[in-house]
Every structure is written in C-alpha cells, then in structure tokens.
Chain A
Amino acid sequence: MSTEHVSLTVNGTRRELDVEPRRLLVQALREDLGLTGTHVGCDTTQCGACTVLVDGAAVKSCTILAVQADGRSVTTIEGMAAADGTLHPLQEAFRDQHGLQCGFCTPGMIMAAADLLAHNPDPSDAEIRHGIEGNICRCTGYQNIVAAIRQAAAVTREGTSVQPPATAA
C-alpha cells in the first residue's frame, strides 16, 4: 500500500511520518512514535482508552486516521508532565485519590479530564461524570476518578499555574 507523508507536532516536538492512509492515529502514536502510553481498549470507539488532545480537544485516536492529524498538534499522556518532570495536577490527583487501579484506562481518562477542565474549570460531580462518559473504567467504579478530577479542578482554580500543555499551534 502506498504511504502518505504526515507532519504533526506531538507533545511539543515536530514529527514527520510516512503512513498508510488506513493507519489510525493511535497506531502511529504507539508504533511509529513509540508513545505507548495511549492504549487501545476496544474496536468500536466506546472505551476512550485512546483519548488524546488534538489541537487541545479530546479526540479518540482510534477513530481518526493518522493523515487527519497532519498539520495538527497532538498531546498524549507523555506530554502532560512538565519538562522537569513535575506532574500535571491531574496526574498528581489521580495518585492522591487512588483514581487508578490497573492503570489501563488512566491515560485516556486523564486526557479526557484535561479537556473537561479546560472548558469547565469548576465542574460539579454530575458534570464530571458526564464529562467522562466516553471513558470506561472497569476497576475503580469511577468514584475515585471523580474525586481526582475534583481535586485537580480545585488545585487549578487555586492558581497553581496549570495551563493545558502547550499544544495550540
């Protein structure tokens, strides 16, 4: 099969790829770029484990083609911590609140939460639960995930300098 050239910014770094047109963004991220933090959990766009930010918006990377990310800016879980390793408030909060058990849904959950908080910095629990409706967790029953997002929202509102990672190109 012939390939297409794709040029995209991933976690702040410009990457150039040659991919088959049918290649999904999640495959390109995991296999071509070695960013295996983004996971594949289903084949019908239900589970959200593959969620990344594309130009700042949460997108299920299993449901867009790599070629559709051409010219865009992608943020994955690997890009959430600061360059010096300081964790994003969402990452800290997931640990503080025991918002993960097996960890498989966690990257997608954090990315979806990042989008949620960027649009709604002070969500109610109901709004949090609605905001992560597109992400399935089988381990936690969601309770501590909601607590984690609530904590991250509070920390962010209190001004602990959390910007969404620099992606809006």
Chain B
Amino acid sequence: MATDVQDVLGARVKRVEDERFITGRGRYLDDISFPGLAHLAVLRSPFAHANIRSIDTSAARAMPGVLAVITGADIPYNPLPMAWPAGGSSGIRNNVNTPRVLATDGVKWTGEGVAAVVAETVAQAVDALEAIQVDWEPLPAVVDAEEALKPGAPQLHENAPNNVVFEWSVGNAEGTAKAIEEAEVVVRQRLVNQRLIPNPMEVRGDIGRYDPGTDEYTLWFSSQTPHIQRLLVGIFMMGIPENKLRCISPDVGGAFGTKIFCYPDYGLVLFASKLIGGRPVKWVETRRENYVSTIHGRDHITYVEVAGKRDGEVTGLRVKTIANLGGRLSTIGPGIPTTLYGRVLSGCYRIPNVYAEVTGVYTNTAFVDAYRGAGRPEATYVVERAMDLFADEIGMDPAEVRRRNFLPPDAFPYDNPSGLLTAVNGSKVYVDSGNYEPALDKALAIAGYADIGRAKEEARRRGRLLGVGLSSYLEICGVAPSKWIGAVGEGWGAAMWESANIKVHLTGKVVVTMGTQPQGQGHETTYAQIVAHELGVPMEDIVVQHSDTQGTPFGYGSYGSRTSNVGSTAAIKAAAKIRDKARRMAAHMLEASPDDIEIDGAEYRVKGSPDKKKTLQEIAFALDLAFDVPEGMEPYLDETAYHDTPNCTFPFGTHVAIVEIDEATGEVELERYVAVDDVGNKINPMIVEGQLHGGIVQGVGQALWEEAIYDEDGQLLSGSMLDYALPRASWLPTIELDETVTPSPVNPLGVKGVGEAGAIASTAAVANAVIDALSPLGIRHLDMPYTPQKVWRAIQSAKGGQA
C-alpha cells in the first residue's frame, strides 16, 4: 500500500547501514588494501618551536624495505589553503600561515611533520624514521594565547606581529558600552573554554594513488568533505585541475568535525605515490599521532560583562575573547570563533545590546578548528554562565532570569538588533522559529526543579553538595545560505549549497546520490526514508550513495548539522523533478493530459479512471527503452537538484544537570541529566535521540574530565588516552530526553538539525550545576574541567584551608 511505504518518514526505522557494522564488514580506511600497497610514516617534531638546520636522510634510505625518504624541500606543492578568513574580504586583516605538506620553515608545534618514509611495511617505515637525523635549533615556545599576545613573547610568524591572526568584532559597540555604563548591575567574569582533543574512535588515514597512464590521482581518506578536497588538495595545494583528482571516503568511523579539513598528509600520500611510480601509498595515524596531527577544539579565554536591572532584565552583554588557533591555521580555523561564535552571543534572549571582540592568536600548539558545535558550545558556555552569574548577583532564580529574558514566541523570524546575524555584505540570516518557555518549563518539571532545595538538604546530610544547572541554548546550524557565508560576507571561501541525484532504473530500483557525507548519522537510512516518502518506493528498493567524487554531483559534505536542512531539501527537490517527469510520461503512456494524472505513492493514475495507471517502475522502464516518449522529453528517469538554503536553522532547548560533589574528595558525580530539545520535525526520532545522547556526553566530558594540556615548553602532556580522560559508560547516568516541536519554516520537512545540539547545550548545564553545588561555600566561578583535584582545591581554598 502506498501509505505504508510512505509512512517511513518520521518513523523509528532501523538503520540500513547497521548490517555491515554489526557483522564486522564495515570498510574503514585502514581496512582497504591494494596489491603493491606501500606504507608511509611521518617523522614529527619533538619540539614545539624550532628551526631545522638540516635533515640527513641517508641512513634511513639504506634501511630494509625503504622505497623513499621525503622532506619538505622535495615537495613542490603550495601551503595548504585557508578557506575562511575572519571577516571574509571585508578588510579585516588575517595574518595567514598554514602548514605545508612537510614543514620547510621550522616547526611551530610538537608533532608537526618534517620528513616521511615510504616502505614496504608499516614497521619498516617506522623503523627507518629513527634513522633520520635532524639538526634542530630549538626556540622558546609559548602555549598560552594571552601570553603569546604580550610584547616579548616568542614570535611564531614574521607576518603576525604579537602572534595576532586577526582582530574581529561584531555587534553594537556604542550601544553596549552605554548599556553597561548605565546598568544597575554589571557582573564581570573571566572564563576559560579549555582545549579539547575530539577523539573520534577511528583516527585519520589516507591512501594516495597516482596513475601514470592517465596522470590522474585518487585519494581515499576518512573525510567529511570528499568533494571539497578535490578543490583544496587539487587546485590549491597541488596546482592540478580538479578533474585530475578523485576523492573517496569509505566508511568514516566518527569525525565530529576533525575530518572536515585539508590536511598535509593528503598531499603527502599523493606525492609519495607518484614518487614511487604509482604504487598506492597508505598512511594511518596512531592515536598519539592523532593527538598532534589532527585538529584540537575550543581553547578560548573570554572576558564577559553582563549588564542589567535588578528586576532580571539583561540589557547588555560585552565579550572579549582570545581564541588560540595553534601554530598554523587549519582550513577554517578563523571562522569558528567569529561567525559561528560571535554571531550567536545573544543566545535565546532579547538582549538588545551585544558586542564582541575576538582576537585569533598563534601559539606553539596544534592547530584548532571546528569540533562538534564549532563556536556554539563556546558561545552557549559564555551566555549561560553569564545568565547564572547575573542571577547570582541579583539574588534571582536562574530559571526565572532566563524566562524573563527569552525571546517571545512572536519574535520570529528574529534578527538581533545589534546586527549579530548580518554579514558584512548586508545579507542576513534570521532565527527561524522558536518557543523557548515550554522547553524550559518541561525540563524543570522533569528535573523536579521545584524540590531542589529539599534535595540539597538531603544530600548535605550525606556529606554531599548537590547542585542543579541550566542551559537554555539556541544554536545556528543547517549551514548555510551561500550569499551569507560566502567570501564577501563572512569568509568561508566557498558556498554551502547541496546536491542530490536520483535515478530510477528500469527495474524500479532507486539510487540516491548525495553530496553529503555520513560519519555515523545514518544517512543511508534517513535519505531512504525521505525518498520512500516522496516517490512511494519501498525503502528496500532504495540505495543511498555518497562519498565518491567520480561522476557524482559536487556537494559540500556533512558538518554544522546541515544535512537534514540542506541535503534533505536537495533530495526532495530531485524527487519532485522525478515525479514531474514521471507524471508527464504517464500522461503520454495513458493518453491523458498531465493535469489529469494523480500520484498516489508510486502509482500514476488518470483521475476518475483508477484502472488506467502506471507504476513508477513501468514509467522508468519505458523511459529507459525510449520506444515512445513525448516530443522533447529526454530518455531515462534521472534528475539532479541543487539546493541553496535560504536561511540557517536554529534548534533550541533547555537542559538541566544535577550533580553531587563529595566534599571530602572533590569528586563530581552527574546524578541526572534532563534534556528537552526542539529540533523541529524529525526524520527518524531514533537517530535524533542517538545524536542527542552522543552530543550530550561529549559536552559532559568537557565539563568534568577532558582537557588537552601543554606544558610551558609545548609538550602535550595529555598525549594519549592514558592521560586524556574520555567519558566511560560507568561514569554517566541514563539521560532523560523530552522534546517540544517547533517546525522550521526553512525547509519542507520542518527540520532544524540535531547533530551538534547536545554538545552545544550540555557543557554549560553541567558547569552551572557544579558552581551551584559549590556556591554555598562562596565559590562563584571555577574553570573546567571539574576534576576532583580542582574541585577539592577550590573547596579547601574557600574554607580557608591549605589548597
């Protein structure tokens, strides 16, 4: 029945892709092998800042199995492109320095690659690394962004005085200064959003192959953006036309943003393959390598001022943020603390005066770029801590402060009066839809917020400090309208539309080819649900393809929770073209007018004559054989659509965290976590819940356990999973999810996107809960992560004891 087939949209459909993963038949990068495969290992700098006087590779070349030893001087490629200058071409100066495939001008962080060995086996390549002699000239290093800005700090790049990458601002400087000056209450706080190491379970890896016969390259990589890399790696880095480079992402074992970017190893394996005559060359990181050669996230130091009235109204928010971008810039590093951070600093509130200044800084640390949430967790942390600090100052319930400042439900589409959402070229995005109070109310009710006082007393009797924390977040995703995000307006030197191709083969089987790129989000299922709904074809007759740039329409990949907004709409548009052509062909086959054809699932019928009908399969068959097609109609049922979203989308919600702290040990336990999220409509609620669970736990990880720590010499002390504490199952409660549903007007499905929302909300909720628990001791703020040692010291200090 047509309706059964089409009912899959919005249903908890089990995932199509699971079959291969649960049987161990997934095909991740390191599972791929070829005859003649050679292996590459990279020699990485043990110093955070150093010149290279010389590199002697002679001994390495002589080692068993070694096919080549490469240094930066051997590689004629350009430095990697940086595709998102802060402020675009608005005139803001960006002092750009990006990595080369192998460093040629010294090294700027511990782990930067300086040489590579290609050998028959991985072990032989790694063994030969040890035989490479590098004459280093170590230099003083600086790892803290505020220190790096000070006169006298070690200078990383000649073109970046005081290690400044850019200075950017957004909002209404004068109005905000006035609001702060005239305010009844002003609260000021320094906040650190600490550096994180994203840690997808699959590290990065690549295989490069040069074909001497065609002078073409193929790059297999664990990447979120195969099509974009054809441009970045081909045109910008290698200086070859994009049609000489084919990029393929196999199954990607998690990414969370780390696999968006252009990386040096992409050029390295391609160069190496050509060097050794076209044998394929594979490189796969070790986890420790991942910690130094794949991007880090967050790392902001922020000074926030929140101004308002004693009655709870917030009148101004001023923010100064110093964003540590690392030793060289990653592909879109400057975009994260600017567009994706500064522009959402009013959160879900009516704050009429907002102004932010952001300084991007070079330090001798690994490069920083988008990590799940990319700027919005940082913004939410600032805004939600500010709301709590303000509430504390005026002695008001933090829930009440939020309620009083929420944008009302009739505010949408909303444009913050400080111009936060307006790009330099005047184009705007608007907060699409929202209704914040019901989500807050629901979250408070589920969490038992009204009874928290009693819960705190009861915990106290057990020697525990109980705290409750809120995070009412608004996030911007579904990126993005090309004219808003494009170079003139914002800096991302490209567009962000999306493509979908749908072919209906003569058997009635459907192939959907997408330009997006899953890394665990279940696209093979969700797109099939959409197309099943649109075309009336059963899901089992639909195959969703992606990831190979050969012969497929260009797409911008998956990140920024964009797939459900932009990708889905492209698929719907392509399906509409299919239906339209099928209708006209059906009319021809049935000798009726196209206007007299009604579509019921996959059946195309003449109105009023229900037995005069053709199925989509019959129509596809007829169009393939093309014996008899209408004048002017092309054979086959094959339609491509490109969709440029007219706006971003804006999920929102309120999360509530309840923690208990053991006063004697400082250990923080997350007792309950309640999340009420509004992601608009849902393609697959089961998948939505999974995204929320995963995002929430990552944000909790930041609050309680995770931190990338460098010592003052730039050595990464948290250099492996031994020292970087990733959340484990036994550390977490069962997350309680609920929802409100405010559809987005931006796309036909009414979806807002959900991939990052959990991570955007949760850090602030847990932070606020911990501070709430500690506040009876007079503690007003503490930087994350809330490790037992840190909390214990704060407690001792507050009690006047030795810390």
Contact = CB atoms under 8 A, between A and B. Distances in A.
Contacts of A43: 286-288, 720
B24 A36 contact: yes
Contacts of B698: 138, 141
Given A41-B202, A132-B729, A103 B30 contact: no
21 contacts: A35-B24, A39-B28, A39-B202, A41-B287, A42-B720, A47-B201, A78-B25, A91-B22, A98-B689, A101-B522, A102-B21, A102-B254, A102-B519, A103-B21, A130-B729, A133-B728, A136-B728, A138-B726, A140-B693, A141-B695, A145-B729
A80 B721 CA distance: 29
Contact of B694 (A80, A129, A136, A141): A141
A60 B69 CA distance: 34
B254 A104 contact: yes
B520 A141 contact: no
Interface of B: 14-15, 17-28, 30-31, 123, 199-203, 251-254, 256, 286-288, 519-522, 686-687, 689-691, 693-698, 720-722, 726-730, 732, 734-735, 758
Contacts, number: 174
Given A102-B200, A102-B202, A129-B729, A44 B720 contact: yes
A163 to B, nearest CB: 18
Contacts of A155: none
B201 A104 contact: yes
Interface of A: 20, 22, 30, 35-44, 46-47, 49, 76-78, 80-81, 87, 91, 94-96, 98, 100-107, 110, 125-126, 128-130, 132-133, 135-146
Contact of A138 (B123, B200, B687, B722): B200
Given A140-B694, A145-B729, A94 B18 contact: yes
A110 B690 CA distance: 18
Contacts of A106: 21-22
Contacts of B201: 39, 41, 47, 49, 102, 104-105, 136-139
Contacts of B251: 102-103
Contacts of B720: 42-44, 46
Which are the 9 A-B pairs with shortest beta-carbon distances?
A37-B24, A103-B21, A104-B253, A102-B520, A101-B520, A77-B24, A141-B697, A141-B693, A46-B721
Given A98-B15, A100-B18, A142-B732, A37 B25 contact: yes
Q: Which of B24, B286, B520, B689 is the most central at the interface, judged by chain A CB atoms within 10 Å of its CB?
A: B24
A142 to B, nearest CB: 4
B697 to A, nearest CB: 4
Nearest to B201: A104
Contact of A37 (B23, B200, B254, B287): B23
A68 B202 CA distance: 26
B718 to A, nearest CB: 12
Nearest to B285: A43
B726 A136 contact: yes
Contacts of B690: 98, 101, 139-140, 144
B252 A81 contact: no
B26 to A, nearest CB: 5
A97 to B, nearest CB: 9
Contacts of B27: 36
B761 to A, nearest CB: 13
Nearest to A105: B201
A133 B729 contact: yes
Contacts of B26: 37, 103-104
Contact of B256 (A76, A100, A138): A138
Contact of B521 (A22, A41, A77, A101): A101
A28 B694 CA distance: 32
A42 B203 CA distance: 8
A44 to B, nearest CB: 5
B722 A44 contact: yes
A98 B686 contact: yes
Given A138-B200, A142-B729, A144-B690, A100 B14 contact: no
A139 B520 contact: yes
A28 to B, nearest CB: 13
B22 A38 contact: no
Given A30-B30, A40-B30, A102-B520, 4 more contacts: A41-B287, A78-B23, A103-B21, A141-B697
Contact of A87 (B17, B22, B202, B689): B22
Given A87-B22, A138-B726, A103 B253 contact: yes
Given A104-B28, A129-B730, A139-B520, A42 B287 contact: yes
From B253, B286, B521, B721, name the one whose CB has the most chain A CB atoms within 10 angstroms.
Answer: B253
A95 B697 CA distance: 21
B735 A143 contact: yes
A107 B694 contact: no
A94 B14 CA distance: 10
Contact of A143 (B520, B521, B687, B734): B734
Nearest to A100: B21
A20 B20 CA distance: 31
A155 to B, nearest CB: 15
A40 B202 CA distance: 8
B695 to A, nearest CB: 8
Nearest to B521: A101
Contacts of A135: 729
Nearest to B289: A43
A141 B735 contact: yes
A45 to B, nearest CB: 9
Contacts of B20: 103
Nearest to B700: A141
Nearest to A148: B22
A136 to B, nearest CB: 5
Nearest to B684: A98
B687 A98 contact: yes
A146 B15 contact: no
A48 B747 CA distance: 41
A100 B696 CA distance: 16
B287 A44 contact: yes
A125 B256 CA distance: 28
Contacts of A133: 728-730
Given A47-B201, A102-B252, A141 B24 contact: no
Contacts of B17: 103
A138 B729 CA distance: 10
A96 B15 CA distance: 9
Given A102-B520, A104-B28, A81 B287 contact: no
Given A81-B23, A87-B23, A100-B21, A46 B694 contact: no
Contacts of B687: 98
B86 to A, nearest CB: 29
Contact of A104 (B25, B202, B726, B729): B202
A44 B728 CA distance: 16
Contact of B24 (A38, A47, A136): A38
A112 B596 CA distance: 60
A48 to B, nearest CB: 10
Contacts of B253: 39, 102-104
A135 B15 CA distance: 22
Contacts of A125: 734
Nearest to B701: A138
Nearest to B719: A44
Contact of A47 (B28, B521, B721): B721
A105 B727 CA distance: 14
B124 to A, nearest CB: 10
B402 to A, nearest CB: 25
B729 A146 contact: yes
Contacts of B730: 126, 129-130, 133
B281 to A, nearest CB: 16
A140 B254 CA distance: 11
B24 A138 contact: no
A52 B463 CA distance: 42
Contacts of A39: 28, 30, 201-202, 253
